[in-house]
C-alpha cells in the first residue's frame, strides 16, 4: 500500500509527457549497448519509440518502472 502511495506522489511531482516516456524507454534500451554504432542505434531507438502510440509508450514505461500510468495522466 505505501509503495503505491509513494508511486502516486512521485507521479504527481513529475510532469509526464510522451517525450519523458520516450527518453526513459530509450535510455533503458541503450544502457547495455556497447557497439561501435552507438549514435546510430540511439537515433534508431528514439525514432522507433517516437512513432509508437501513447498507450504503447505507457505500457513499456510501466514495465520498466513498475508503475501503472495511463495515457490520461500524461501532460500535453
pLDDT in tens, 38-47: 899 999 999 9
Other Cβ atoms less than 10 A from the Cβ of 33: the count is: 11
At residue 62, the pLDDT reads: 97
Say which DSSP state 31 is in: T
pTM, entire model: 0.78
At residue 42, the pLDDT reads: 94
Listed in sequence order, the DSSP H helices in the chain are 2-13, 18-30, 38-50, 54-65
Domain coordinates in residue numbering, the chain: 2-73
Task: Inform me whether the pLDDT recorded for 4 exceeds 80.
Answer: no
Amino acid at each position: 500500500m505505501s509503495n503505491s502511495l509513494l508511486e502516486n506522489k512521485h507521479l504527481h511531482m513529475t510532469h509526464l509527457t510522451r517525450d519523458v516516456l520516450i527518453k526513459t524507454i530509450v535510455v533503458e534500451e541503450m544502457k547495455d549497448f556497447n557497439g561501435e554504432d552507438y549514435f546510430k542505434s540511439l537515433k534508431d531507438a528514439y525514432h522507433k519509440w517516437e512513432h509508437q502510440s501513447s498507450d504503447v509508450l505507457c505500457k513499456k514505461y510501466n514495465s520498466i518502472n513498475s508503475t501503472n500510468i495511463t495515457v490520461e495522466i500524461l501532460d500535453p
